[in-house]
Amino acid sequence: MSSASKDWRRVDPKIYNRVNRDLDRLFMSHLADLLEDMELPWSPDPRGDPHPPRSVIGALVLKIYFGVGYDGIEAKLKGMKEFFCKNFDVDRVPTHSVIHRGMRKTSTKFLRNLLEKTILQVEEDRRTAIDSSGFSTRNSSKWYDVRIGEENEKKDYLKFHLLIDVDSGQILDVRMTKSDKHDSPVGKAMLRRDWGIESVSGDNAYFSREACTIVAGKNAKAYFAPSKNATQKSKGHPAYREMMEEREENHEEWGGLSREELHRKRLRLHQREVRESPKEHQETIEEKGTPH
């Protein structure tokens, strides 16, 4: 048996369950405090005995946190009824149908603001990354069907944009767009918010001069993969030029340069040599042009 196997110890299930339970309660308590200071998206109906919006939204967020369905979160909260009711100052747990209706009333903007309030209470100087992925839908593109005159196999899809803390895996911002929406404007909107970032990495879909300027304005460094035809011209965005120059100087750390970038680099070096020693360069040309 290896030393690594000898050092391995089975986690006591009681301790494991206790830690998870305490973590869940800590999250619930923190969530209740955050919702206390926020303007809620709807007011309770004065008729009857409705559930307070704060407890419904709390249950909705906990549903996402636990990764369960509407029936599942109702059962989960009933098992934690005393703690839930104490933190949200209620005498009952919202039912699955109440939570489902709350989902319809709660906007993405509100959830994003809630997420931001949670993040701002965590340490700053984050190394972040931004990227997107597509989610297919059930229907094919109707516009494309009309254009080609028949139903095709091409499907519409939605883009899911994420800004994450690469060290903790914490999601900082989330955006959903249609498939024809370019990534760059969405990325700039996400980066404009105050996330306390130290750096941000992204592919060439988020690459732009303005994005580099936004990141520099946060006292952070940008690491965007440039497009193939990108040049070092700043066009009023010095942070962009600084990023491109650093990428060229430390291209191995950036994953290497493309063929076009290598060609432009050689061309710039050649032009620099001509400017620094024009006479010597002219003599070289004359020597090469002199017949033997």
Same domain for 92 and 139, yes or no, is: no
Same domain for 33 and 106, yes or no, is: yes
Q: Where are the alpha helices (DSSP H) in the chain?
A: 3-7, 13-36, 53-66, 70-79, 81-88, 96-105, 108-119, 142-148, 183-191, 209-217, 238-249, 259-276, 278-289
- pLDDT of 284 > 60? The answer is no
List pLDDT tens digits, range 230-280.
888 888 899 999 988 888 777 666 665 555 555 555 666 656 666 666 655
pLDDT at 89: 94
pLDDT greater at residue 238 or residue 156: 238
279 is a domain residue: no
Domain boundary among 114, 132, 166: 114
Same domain for 66 and 162, yes or no, is: no
Q: Which domain holds residue 100?
A: 12-114
pLDDT at 1: 47
pLDDT at 84: 95
pLDDT-based confidence at 125, cuts 50/70/90? confident
Number of domains forming the structure of the chain: 2
pLDDT-based confidence at 292, cuts 50/70/90? very low
Domain boundary among 114, 136, 155: 114
Same domain for 236 and 214, yes or no, is: yes
pLDDT at 72: 94
List pLDDT tens digits, range 67-89.
899 999 999 999 999 999 999 99
CA distance linking residue 255 with residue 240, whole number of Å? 18
**Poorest-confidence range of 8-12, 159-163, 177-181?**
8-12
Q: 157 vs 133, 160, 171, 287, CA distance in Å?
A: 10, 10, 22, 62
pLDDT-based confidence at 144, cuts 50/70/90? low
With residue 219 as reference, give the H or E element that holds it.
Answer: none
209 is a domain residue: yes
Same domain for 170 and 105, yes or no, is: no
CATH number at 208 reads 3.30.420
